[in-house]
Chain A
Amino acid sequence: MTRISLTVDGEKVSDDIEARMLLVQYLREKVGKTGTVIGCDTSNCGACTVHLNGQSVKSCNVLAVQADGGEVATIEGLATNGELHPVQTAFRECHGLQCGFCTPGMIMQSIDLLANNPHPTEEEVRVGLEGNLCRCTGYHNIVRAVMYAAEHGSSDSVQSEGASA
């Protein structure tokens, strides 16, 4: 067992875990962040995307021990005092989801994208979301949602918090 300490959605957590435990398992099974889902489990689909130290990562492709000392942001930490994050609002406004399973990853990757490129073109959004698959193929509205978020401002507390760490 290995002791890890990290911050998840602003709260400090510490656990003894097996080194083989994946970050996504740790988040779901130890910290209870089931908002982060496991989609393909082969690092293709991006549904498990979270931010680690301010950058989007596929949490099924990171060992929890690699996140030791780091800051993790999940979909569950986005809303503040019941107010949705602007990118969450945009996905709702534009109906950027059908079954919703890819949505946590799509939103986390969209926030990362907008942090690096606040005013992307539609093409840049499509390329930036390349690592996230929607099995309902609802890409048009997902892209529309990211463009909407860019237009209506996406203050990204999550990103700036991680980046300053």
Chain B
Amino acid sequence: MIPVQFDYLAPTSVEEALAALVEHGDEAKILAGGQSLLPVLRLRLNAPELVIDLGKIDSLRGVRDEGDAIVIGAMTPHAQVQTDPLVAEHAAVLHEAVQHLADVQIRHRGTLGGALAHADPAGDMGAPALALDAQFVIAGSSGTRTVDAQDFFVDLFETAIGEDEILTEIRIPKHTGWGAHYEKFVRVAHQWPIVAVAATVRLDGDTIAEARIGLTNMGSTPLRARAVEDALAGQPATEDAVRAAAAHATEGTNPPSDLNGDADYRSHLAGVLTRRAVLAAIGR
């Protein structure tokens, strides 16, 4: 399977990439790590006239500490996110989730920004980004804007990134000391989750002070399970309390039906996986 012919540009700065985007509009496609885009091109589901490869823009890679937040460059490969000590310390649920994304080879090439911009509702990065209240830094020719995670995911494969814009950074408020777990249910190895749950919880002694829950593949975008979060806040960190709260996991969801499972099955999974994820996050 060979993609259709396209022109190729590998700019060395964001400005250069933006200029090319403005010139070519929706005929151009941004290439990050390519682990989702190349299959799309090979299957000829998309046939851009120009591919703009961000791989040579060094400033888009790396993780840095900015006081109350960590900032991850959009082109930082998953493998680097996985081993970065700042991510492990301050964004533990992302650290947990990325280890379960696809396989080693894909994590070497695929990037955090690419995965988030691709916005596959079955992708593993959306739920932790939502749970951590990530902010998305998006560059356009008229400047840079920041979009909150809850406004970033618009629909199936659709985000707040405009046609002439590029996602440059993911800014994550520090969740230092929060317990975290990503519970992923798959039928076979290295696949997209049928359903997965990202849970991160702040304990105050034996009480759940606050919890953030992200759901993967329970709708056309990753979702926050706010009813579960509300039900957990202030509760004792016990299995009974978590079980009761997890029963709210499907509120506001609209799970798809496909060959891996119908909507009812996914709804069942969401409750079970939420309970497991929260219990693991609080070490129970």
**Chain B residues packing against A (C-beta within 8 Å):** 1-8, 10, 31, 34-35, 38-39, 41-42, 51, 53, 55, 79, 102-106, 108-109, 189-190
Contact = CB atoms under 8 A, between A and B. Distances in A.
A62 B104 CA distance: 15
Nearest to B102: A131
Interface of A: 2, 18-20, 22, 25, 41-44, 46, 49, 52, 55-58, 61-63, 65-66, 68, 109, 112-113, 128, 130-132
Given A2-B8, A20-B6, A61-B39, 5 more contacts: A20-B2, A42-B1, A66-B34, A109-B104, A131-B190
A47 B116 CA distance: 27
A42 B39 contact: yes
B108 A57 contact: yes
B2 A109 contact: no
Contacts of B190: 44, 130-131
Given A19-B7, A61-B39, A130 B53 contact: no
B8 A61 contact: no
B53 A66 contact: yes
B278 to A, nearest CB: 24
Contacts of B42: 22, 41-42
A61 B103 contact: no
Given A49-B105, A56-B108, A62 B8 contact: no
6 contacts: A2-B8, A19-B51, A56-B105, A61-B109, A63-B31, A63-B38
A75 B164 CA distance: 41
Contacts of A57: 105, 108-109
Nearest to A108: B105
B34 A62 contact: yes
B39 A43 contact: yes
Given A2-B8, A65-B53, A130 B1 contact: no
Contacts of B10: 65, 68
B34 A61 contact: yes
Contacts of B102: 131
Q: Provide the main secondary structure of the chain A interface.
A: mixed
A55 B104 CA distance: 9
Given A41-B42, A61-B109, A128 B8 contact: no
Nearest to B55: A66
B2 A22 contact: yes
A92 B200 CA distance: 46
A49 B109 CA distance: 12
A63 B42 CA distance: 11
Contacts of B41: 20
B103 to A, nearest CB: 3
A112 to B, nearest CB: 7
B189 A130 contact: yes
Nearest to A105: B105
Contacts of B35: 43, 61
Nearest to A112: B104
Contact of A113 (B34, B51, B104): B104
B1 A41 contact: yes
B118 to A, nearest CB: 14
A131 B53 contact: no
Given A2-B8, A66-B55, A46 B103 contact: yes
B5 A62 contact: no
Contacts of A22: 2, 38, 42
B210 to A, nearest CB: 32
Contacts of B8: 2, 19, 63, 65
A130 B6 contact: no
Q: By CB atoms of chain A within 10 A, which of B3, B7, B103, B105 has the most?
A: B105
Contacts of B103: 46, 130-132
A57 B108 CA distance: 7
A42 B1 CA distance: 8
B82 to A, nearest CB: 11
A22 B261 CA distance: 34
A98 B104 CA distance: 24
B38 A128 contact: no
Nearest to B43: A42
B224 to A, nearest CB: 29
